Structure 1
Amino acid sequence: MRLRTVRLDETTAACVALPDGRLARVEKIVDGAPSDLLALLETEALDALAEAVAAGVDDTACVDPHSPVAAPWLRPRKILGIGLNYGAHAGDLGESAPRTSPASFLKGDHTIVGPGEPIVVPPGIGKVTAEAELGLVIGRTCYQVSVDDAMSYVAGVVPVLDQTAEAILLENPRYLTRVKNYPTFFSFGPDLITLDEVLSHGPLSGLRVATVHNGAVHRKDTVAGMTFSPAELLSFHSQVMPFYPGDILSTGTPGAVPIVPGDVVTCELGDGLASLTNPVQ
């Protein structure tokens, strides 16, 4: 399934993209379902939604499939990012990829913007980069889980654009929290793609992640090119902290691209599986 938050007049609504191209409001097809995606994840209602979609959806539940989209949700309990998880990107920063344990950082929800919303480059901070990433969306609470079990706690994936004030980072790598937390420095969406649909296109290890800058691919790699796999990342960090439904674990980038006002940046997942685009101002 593909789930998104759409703008309807003065409100937003959680919707599911139907196999026939229609777009249906979740609360109209599942009794008692909430009207926003984060609450849907928190109530662990994805299985009920899948059953309802399979049973057939009446037109009265549908909205214009071209309705504008918003960020899927705005208040995850945490956004956890991973640094230097591809060797090539580590080389961009003059570093080597960590081998014993992953490098990570937290981002506040004030950094979130949705598809098509501007990424704002603050004045006076020097070079800023955009980084396409595969985001894992947690579907149920997990804590101290094994690598073998970790992916069973993942509801699905989202394209991510994670921004960095790189000039400041190069001054001192301990500034990581500072350089990652300017407003608009985290975009995700438009769709939460459930893990079963992702895997129907092939194994996760073969999924392509690409940073695209002004229409040209800047850097790409597959999930297999990660130093630490998605399952390893989730298991490792779950030994320290619990993850909750709607939390996002952004798994690192194959390459960061410098951005300036007027640019357009895109995260591409797979060959047509998902795409997220934001302008820069």
Structure 2
Amino acid sequence: MRIRTVQSADEQVACVALADGRLARIDRVLTHGPSDLLSLLASERLGELATAIAVGVRDEDCVNADAPVSVPWTRPRKILGIGLNYGAHAGDLGEQAPRSSPASFLKGDHTIVGPGQPIIVPPGIGKVTSEAELGLVIGRTCYQVDVDEAMSYVAGVVPVLDQTAEAVLLENPRYLTRVKNYPTFFAFGPDLITLDEALAHGPLEDLRVATVHNDVVHREDTVSGMTFSPAELLSFHSQVMPFYPGDILSTGTPGAVGISSGDVVRCELGDELASLTNPVQ
């Protein structure tokens, strides 16, 4: 399934994008269903939703197919980012990819913007980069799990554009929290793509992740090029902290590109699985 949040009349509602182009409201397809995507994840009713969709959806349970797409949700309990998880990107910063354990950082929900919303480059901080990433969305509480079971806690994937104040970071690598937490420095969406839907396009390790700048592919790699796999990242960090439904684990970028006002950046997952596009101001 592909699940998104759209603006319908004067409210935002979570919908499933159906194969025939219709948008089915979750709160009408499910009995006592939630109206927002984060509550859907917290209720752990994705399986029930898939069954209801397979049975069939009435037209009166759908919204306008052209309804504007919004940010999927704005209040995850945590956004965890991974640094230098591809060797090539580590070289961009004059670093080596960590080998013994992954490097990570937390981002506040004030950094979130949705598809098509502007990424704002703050004045006076020097070079800012944008980085396409594969985001894992947690579907149920996940704490101290093994690598071989970690992906069973993942509800789905999202395209991510993660921003960095690179000039500030190069002053001191300990500034990681500072350089990652300006407003608009985390874009994701438009769809939560359930894990079964993503895997229907092929093994996750074969998934292409590309940073695209002004319609030119700047850097791309596959998930197999990560130093630490998605399952390893989730398992490792779950030993330290619990993950909750709606939390996002952004798994690192194959390459960061410098951005400035007037640019357009895009994250592409696969050739056709998903893309996220944001303008820069």
Deviations 1:88-146 (A, max 9, x none): 00000000000000000000000000000000000000000000000000000010000
* In 1, Cα distance between equivalents of 2:66 and 2:111: 26
**Distance in 2 of aligned mates of 1:265 and 1:206:** 23
Partner of 2:126: 126
2:70 maps to which residue? 70
Cα distance, 1:19 vs structure 2? 1.9
1:135, 1:263 → 2: CA distance? 23
- Equivalent residue number for residue 148 of structure 1: 148
Query: Does 2:180 align with 1:180?
Result: yes
Q: Secondary structure at the match of 1:74?
A: coil
Q: CA RMSD in A?
A: 0.5
- Total equivalences in the alignment: 281
Of residues 189-198 and 57-66 in structure 1, the stretch that sits farther from structure 2 once superposed is: 57-66
TM-score after normalising by structure 2:
0.99
d(CA) in 2 for partners of 1:35 and 1:63?
A: 13
**Matching residue of 1:201:** 201
Structure-2 separation of matches of 1:97 and 1:278:
28
Equivalent position of 1:251 in the other structure = 251
For 1:41 and 1:266, the matched residues in 2 are separated by 26
Unpaired segments of 5 or more residues in structure 2? Answer: none
Question: C-alpha separation between the residues in 1 aligned to 2:41 and 2:118?
Answer: 27
The offset of 1:166, in angstroms, is: 0.1
| Unpaired segments ≥5 residues, structure 1 | none
The equivalent residue for 2:115 is 115
Question: TM-score, normalised to structure 1's length?
Answer: 0.99
Q: Secondary structure at the match of 2:167?
A: helix
1:34 corresponding residue in structure 2: 34
Note the C-alpha offset of 1:225: 0.2
Residue 161 of structure 2 corresponds to 161
Equivalent residue, structure 1, for 2:10: 10
Q: How far is 1:67 from its partner?
A: 1.1
3-state DSSP of counterpart to 1:12: strand
What do residues 181-200 of structure 1 show as CA deviations (whole Å, max 9, x unaligned)?
A: 00000000000000000000
Q: Is the 8 A contact 2:156 2:192 kept in 1?
A: yes
Matched, 1:95 2:95: yes
Q: Provide Cα deviations, 1:219-259, integer angstroms capped at 9, x if missing partner.
A: 00000000000000000000000000000000000000000
Q: Name the CA distance, whole Å, in 2 between partners of 1:8 and 1:60.
A: 14
Q: Is the 8 A contact 2:214 2:264 kept in 1?
A: yes
* Structure 1 Cα separation of the partners of residues 145 and 171 of structure 2: 36
Partner residue in 2 for 1:51: 51
Name 1:275's counterpart in structure 2.
275
**What displacement does 1:63 show?**
1.1
Q: Where in structure 2 are the equivalents of 1:206-225 lying within 5 Å?
A: 206-225=206-225
Using the TM superposition, give the Cα deviation of residue 9 of structure 1 relative to its aligned residue in structure 2, in angstroms.
2.3
d(CA) in 2 for partners of 1:65 and 1:214? 28
Q: State the shift of 1:64 in Å.
A: 1.5
Query: C-alpha distance in 1, partners of 2:116/2:273?
Result: 18
Q: Which residue does 1:263 correspond to in 2?
A: 263
2-structure distance, mates of 1:50, 1:64: 21
SS at match of 2:212: strand
Amino acid at match of 2:63: V
Q: Which amino acid aligns with 2:129?
A: T
* C-alpha displacement of 1:18: 1.1
Taking the aligned partners of 1:63 and 1:34, their CA distance within structure 2 comes to 15
Structure 2 CA distance for aligned equivalents of residues 3 and 43 of structure 1: 15
SS at match of 1:187: strand
Deviation at 1:73, TM superposition (A): 0.2
Range with greater deviation from structure 2 (55-64 or 103-112): 55-64
Residue identity matched to 1:262: G
- Distance in structure 2 (CA, Å) of the matches to 1:95 and 1:65: 46
